[in-house]
Amino acid sequence: MIKVFKISFIAMLINLMVNVSSLYAQCAMCRATVENNVSNGETSIGAGLNTGILYLLTMPYLIAMVIGFLWYRNAKKRKTKFIFHGDKF
């Protein structure tokens, strides 16, 4: 069961890394602003906006992954302690 989870998790990560170009998206207002700036000759704002969107998109997932990892590590330590010492959770 854990092996299947690990394989599917790795496959999902690889899929996200390969398809990262499809993640560049903007809301309607941001898109209109970027199109207006591009028509005026300012092209750097669009690239910065896309980078900012990706940054904001990844932060909640990174926080959830860190919390999940810490919870998993702590649960594994408690389980090992229970098995070897007979302590209760």
Q: Is residue 14 part of a domain?
A: no
Structure tokens at 53: 């969107």
pLDDT for 16? 78
Q: Is residue 77 part of a domain?
A: yes
Q: Is residue 55 part of a domain?
A: yes
* Distances from the Cα of 79 to the Cα of 75, 84, 88, angstroms: 6, 9, 9
Write down the H helix ranges in the chain: 2-18, 28-39, 44-85
For the chain, the domain total comes to 1
pLDDT for 40? 82
Structure tokens at 66: 């860190």
Name the residue range of residue 51's domain. Answer: 24-85
Q: Is residue 60 part of a domain?
A: yes
Is pLDDT at 47 greater than 80 in this prediction? no
Q: How many CB atoms lie within 10 A of CB 79?
A: 11
pLDDT for 87? 56
Structure tokens at 35: 């199109």
Q: Is residue 5 part of a domain?
A: no
